[in-house]
């Protein structure tokens, strides 16, 4: 009997050690960042901790890719990865980093705004840890993360999250949502410190235009839209008109004054930047979806959303073609191009001229992989 118990104990010990080994490998893998291959237009790579040293050595610190223009002009900041489970945002940022060049002004691109959020998945969602894109040079992989800061970096959540500067009260889980923490606090949570670092970057560099890239579920009312602070409305309005003239249907939404912590509201209120946010339609975000896997992330095809569209339950057209990643990235990049053009027309003394941004028709025809550089 004693021998039997000893064998059983050894068996369960081996199983436990094996599970710990697998979990450890998974944990390490999620902390590995996907490779980004900067193009010739990138003049410098800085860290967010350069603007707020309190982030140094934490998972909140993240890279800032800087493009110095050939001529002086205005300054633009592109935020990707505010929500790391919204891949068109950071894929658009990566395509800028690997392709764009600046003729006038300066461009700053942060592809992984919530770096900590890329190190885990949302629990109970069954989402993939990564997805792959075919390129002429082989496959490239990219992280599919979480909407929120990793609880390993910030825990526990309070029962109620109170936005520091406004007193707004939200669900406690929103304390780890980067897009509820602006303008941030230097002595706050890690999420608030990241928000503070981005705010300091905008203030210290004198950023004129800030664009935050997002995705939303097809049943969310604010989708395929530009959300603009009131000071951004003239530029955003012109951008929306120009996109619609190009056949890209897109809406314009004013930044609500009673919803706090978001980039388009707080950065517009607390800094001199012109702040906008953009949303594309991503079924892997929604609650009506089927299996959440790499195929859904890439193709945006889901039979349940097709049914929901027929029942009139969605705020965006949805058929068997879905909303593939190429479409979503193409929308973002084309809108960035139009936003900077509209800004340059409005502020002629501070132009922001960006070239070699992949266009909507190019991306949807050639694919995202066509614009990705080889990894050495």
DSSP string, 176-245: G-GGGSTT--TTS-HHHHHHHHHHHHHHHHT--EEEEEEEE-TTSSS-SEEEE-GGGHHHHHHHHHHHHH
Q: Are 130 and 375 in contact (CB under 8 A)?
A: no
**pLDDT value of residue 33:** 84
Dist. CA 89–CA 98, nearest whole Å = 15
- Using CA atoms, how far apart are residues 197 and 51, in angstroms rounded to an integer? 6
Which pLDDT does position 28 carry in this prediction?
Answer: 56
pLDDT at position 309 is: 97
Q: Which pair of tokens denotes residue 159?
A: 């029962």
Helix axes 325-346, 87-99, angle to 10 degrees: 60
Rg (CA), the chain: 21
CB atoms within 10 A of CB 375: 14
Tell me which residue of 375, 370, 352, 285 sits closest to 95, measured CA to CA: 370
Q: Please, are residues 36 and 118 in contact by the beta-carbon 8 Å criterion?
A: no
pLDDT along the chain (376 residues), means of 10: 62 57 54 91 98 98 98 98 97 98 98 98 91 96 97 97 97 97 98 98 98 97 97 98 96 96 98 98 94 96 97 96 98 98 98 97 98 95
Looking at residue 19, its pLDDT comes to 46
> What pLDDT is stored for residue 25 in this prediction?
52
Q: How far apart are CA 283 and CA 219, in angstroms?
A: 9
Query: Please, are residues 187 and 151 in contact by the beta-carbon 8 Å criterion?
Result: no
Per-residue model confidence (pLDDT) at position 14? 59
Residues 132 and 112: their CA atoms lie apart, in Å, by 17
Q: What is the pLDDT of residue 177?
A: 98
Class of domain 37-371: alpha beta
pTM equals 0.93
**What pLDDT shows up at residue 22?**
52
**Domain extents in the chain:** 1-30, 37-371
Residues 76, 267: Cα–Cα separation, whole Å: 13
Torsion of CA 242, 243, 244, 247, to 10 degrees: 120
What is the DSSP pairing of strand 130-135 with strand 138-143?
Answer: antiparallel
Identify the DSSP state of 265.
I
Q: How far apart are CA 306 and CA 320, in angstroms?
A: 7
């Amino acid at each position: 009997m004693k021998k039997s118990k000893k064998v059983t104990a050894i068996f369960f010990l081996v199983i436990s050690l094996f599970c710990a080994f697998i979990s450890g490998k998974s944990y390490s893998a999620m902390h590995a960042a996907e490779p980004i291959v900067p193009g010739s237009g990138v003049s410098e790579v800085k860290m967010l901790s350069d603007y707020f040293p309190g982030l140094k050595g934490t998972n909140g610190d993240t890279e800032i890719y800087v493009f110095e223009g050939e001529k002086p002009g205005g300054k633009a900041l592109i935020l990707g990865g505010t929500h790391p489970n919204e891949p068109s945002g950071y894929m658009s940022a990566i395509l800028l980093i690997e392709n764009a060049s600046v003729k006038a002004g300066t461009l700053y691109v942060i592809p992984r705004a919530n770096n900590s959020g890329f190190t885990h998945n949302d629990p109970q969602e069954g989402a993939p840890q990564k997805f792959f894109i075919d390129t002429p040079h082989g496959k490239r992989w990219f992280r599919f993360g979480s909407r929120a800061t990793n609880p390993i970096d910030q825990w526990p959540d309070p029962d109620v999250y109170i936005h520091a500067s406004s007193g707004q009260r939200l669900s406690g889980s929103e304390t780890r949502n980067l897009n509820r923490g602006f303008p941030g606090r230097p002595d706050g949570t890690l999420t608030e410190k990241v928000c503070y670092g981005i705010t300091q970057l905008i203030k210290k560099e004198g950023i004129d235009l800030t664009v935050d890239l997002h995705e939303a579920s097809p049943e969310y009312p604010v989708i395929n839209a530009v959300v603009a602070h009131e000071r951004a409305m003239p530029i955003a309005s012109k951008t929306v008109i120009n996109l619609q003239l190009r056949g890209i249907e897109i809406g314009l939404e004013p930044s609500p004054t009673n919803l706090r912590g978001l980039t388009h509201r707080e950065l517009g209120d607390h800094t001199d930047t012109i702040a906008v946010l953009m949303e594309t339609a991503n079924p892997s975000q929604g609650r009506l979806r089927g299996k959440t896997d790499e195929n859904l992330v890439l193709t945006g095809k889901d039979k349940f959303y097709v049914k929901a569209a027929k029942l009139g339950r969605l705020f965006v057209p949805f058929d068997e073609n879905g909303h593939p990643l190429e479409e979503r990235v193409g929308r973002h990049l084309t809108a960035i191009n139009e936003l900077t053009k509209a800004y340059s027309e409005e502020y002629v003394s501070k132009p922001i001229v960006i070239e070699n941004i992949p266009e909507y028709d190019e991306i949807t025809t050639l694919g995202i992989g066509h614009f990705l550089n080889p990894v050495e």
